[in-house]
Amino acid sequence: NAGVTQTPKFQVLKTGQSMTLQCAQDMNHEYMSWYRQDPGMGLRLIHYSVGAGITDQGEVPNGYNVSRSTTEDFPLRLLSAAPSQTSVYFCASSYDGLGVTDTQYFGPGTRLTVL
């Protein structure tokens, strides 16, 4: 099992550009989430999905879109990048919860810089 994989590992964007952060898991988990982590801060939930075709907003959803067409993939789209979106992005998955009643597995992260 590869677990949770994320691509790219690093990305630099200019303000206004768009891009998609990829996330995939091979554990057949229903629940997937995207978090951002700013320097010296904890993780904040951006969007999450409880299964294919179902997504919902987390704590900080503005400026991001998600979709879940398959169980395995959960891409995060930045519509028009802003310097405030400079952060490290983590994708996570779990079997039957959002990591509270079930172990949540995290990917290695994508470090994004917006100039």
Shortest gap between Cβ of 56 and another protein (angstroms)?
Answer: 6
Query: Across the chain, how many H-helices and E-strands are there?
Result: 0, 11
Residues 46/60, Cβ–Cβ less than 8 Å: yes
Residue 112 structure tokens:
């994004």
Q: Which is nearer to another protein, 12 or 54 (CB)?
A: 54
Shortest gap between Cβ of 15 and another protein (angstroms)?
Answer: 25
Q: Which is nearer to another protein, 58 or 63 (CB)?
A: 58
Binding site for another protein (CB under 8 A): 4, 35, 40-45, 48, 56-59, 90, 92, 96-109
Task: Give SS3 for 108.
Answer: coil
